[in-house]
Amino acid sequence: MWFPKKMKIAPKLDERYQINAPKPNYALLINPFYRKDPRASFGKHVLTPTLALTSIAAATPLNWEIHYWDENLLQGHPPCEPFPSVVGITVHLTFAERAYELARWYRNRGAKVVMGGLHVMSCPDEVAQHADAIAMGEGVQLWPRILRDAEAGCLKQRYVGDFSQPYNLESAPRRELLPRESFLTTLSLIATRGCHNRCGFCYMSTKGLKMPYQMREPEQIATEFRQSDEPYGVFTDNNLGSNRDYLRGLCQELRKVDKIWSAAVTIDVTDDVSLVREMALSGCTGVFVGLESLIGENLIDARKKTPRPDDYARRVDVFHSQGIQVNTSFVFGFDHDTPDVFEKTVNWIEDSRLACATFHILTPYPGTPLFRKLEKEKRILHRDWNRYDTANVVFQPRKMTPDELQSGYEWCYRKLFSMRSSLRRCPRRIEDILPYLAMSILYKRSNYLWSLLIQHRLTHRLWHPFVERTRQRHLRFRKRLEQKELVLRPITPVNPGV
């Protein structure tokens, strides 16, 4: 399988580089490099930027200069001119080793390194060995305090924040720090924080993570959307539909903006067809839905609150009937999965005409109930965090071998990425076929192009015409939906008594 070096190996750090002194009151925020899965689309890594660092940047005191750097944009060695006095590094399980490597390099040259992120919550003692300070909990709340302490020369080893501050008081992310040309859209949005579900395998169930469900005012989100000249926004909420009344109110505000958006929701949002229609009328063109498994027992074991799997197809059709494409997520390796699960899942995806699907190997993140369960059962194969990326088997499955699970996962991607499968999943509406095929070829079948597009900062330039065309097409579809809405709406007589 073709796999460009830049997609699997982080840029080498210059050990010979020397500095005189770090620049005072200058902070650098880094999203570390992580190895890409050659079976999935390389394009998804530049769909939209992470909100974590730009949200933290918005909390930076005015007397500090701030810079953003994402190693996954393939621009080479992280910046060192001028040399920062403070480096903030987000740490996830799969790129923890790279985060530690970056921390060592900057600390050896005089910078103070602060680490935050999910891996800090689950493995604080491990991370603390590599940083001058760690931030546990709400980073936006802690960042100003950390910089003030760094400026005063009294940086503490640990900072702990909660999520008590009202979410709607947070400033908008500092998107102007982003290299716009490197992303399909820089308009990543977040309207809600937290999730009402606590699935046993999800990072949201990490021990010690207490994140109450909070919502920002719909008007705030619409204003951010309106102020950007991007035609397309991506909501990064864990579940935008967790509160349906809120989602309806948000849709009513977004309907005034005339742009398009996508978001992650749970399949039960289709309980209310009128809400799905509101989503479409407000500009929703696609949803990411974590179906996880077509086997009900797996969902029960995972403590996932969801409708019956035998009703999934009907619910997918509800989205399709409103012009909303569906990208689903499936996880393989649950205790009730047998070697035939892969073919059954792909067949279902094709029969349901899903625009896209994402596959994952069940991965026990440290601190989650799943990790504790498998550890107790002595089914954890190793603790090489680099391979805890949902693309490698790191535990002993119950009803198949690790090799069967690995090969089945890889087969699913080969099958789904084939032209035959793309044609089988074509939309039923004729006007949607060409845009769908263009997306399938450019996004899902062009990995050989993506490293070049990313490296030469051509992502936005290539995709912007397609996105704008999609927006225009959706606005035309929306007019037809609005006409149907007028027809279906009851008409109140002018003179009820006549």
pLDDT at 30: 97
- The 10s digit of each residue's pLDDT in 423-471 is 899 888 777 787 777 777 777 778 888 889 999 999 999 889 889 988 9
β-strands 232-235, 188-189: how paired? parallel
Q: What is the mean pLDDT of residues 32-51?
A: 89
Core vs surface per residue 223-250: b (16+ CB within 10 A) or e: ebbeebebbbbbbbbbbbbbbeebbbbb
The dihedral sign for the CA sequence 36, 106, 89, 374: positive
* Selected residue with higher pLDDT from 218 and 492: 218
* CA gap 236, 219 in Å, rounded: 18
* CA gap 417, 410 in Å, rounded: 11
* pLDDT at residue 351 is higher than 80: yes
Q: How far is CA 100 from CA 84, 104, 105, 129, in A?
A: 17, 6, 9, 9
3-class SS of residue 214? strand
Angle at 414 between CA 413 and CA 420, to 5 degrees: 110
Q: Domains along the chain?
A: 5-160 (3.40.50.2300), 187-481 (3.80.30.20)
Grade residue 164 by pLDDT with cuts at 50, 70 and 90.
confident
Average pLDDT, the chain: 89
Q: Which two tokens stand for residue 221?
A: 């989100």
C-alpha dihedral (158, 163, 168, 174), degrees to nearest 10: 30
User: Which DSSP symbol is given to 440?
Assistant: I
Contact yes or no for 487/42 (Cβ under 8 A): no
Q: What is the mean pLDDT of residues 404-425?
A: 93
The Cα diameter of the chain in Å comes to: 91
Most confident of the following: 33-37, 102-106, 306-310: 102-106
* CA gap 16, 343 in Å, rounded: 52
Interacting residues of 408 by C-beta distance below 8 A, sequence separation 6+: 332, 339, 341, 342, 400
User: Which DSSP symbol is given to 441?
Assistant: I
- The 10s digit of each residue's pLDDT in 142-163 is 999 999 999 999 999 999 988 7
Among 454, 385, 459, 444, which residue's Cα sits nearest to residue 186? 459
pLDDT at 42: 87
pLDDT at 495: 35
Interacting residues of 125 by C-beta distance below 8 A, sequence separation 6+: none
- The 10s digit of each residue's pLDDT in 219-254 is 999 999 999 999 999 999 888 988 999 999 999 999
* pLDDT at residue 498 is higher than 60: no
pLDDT at 494: 32
* CA gap 168, 387 in Å, rounded: 37
Burial-class residue 57 by CB neighbours within 10 Å (0-12, 13-18, 19+): buried
* Selected residue with higher pLDDT from 276 and 445: 276
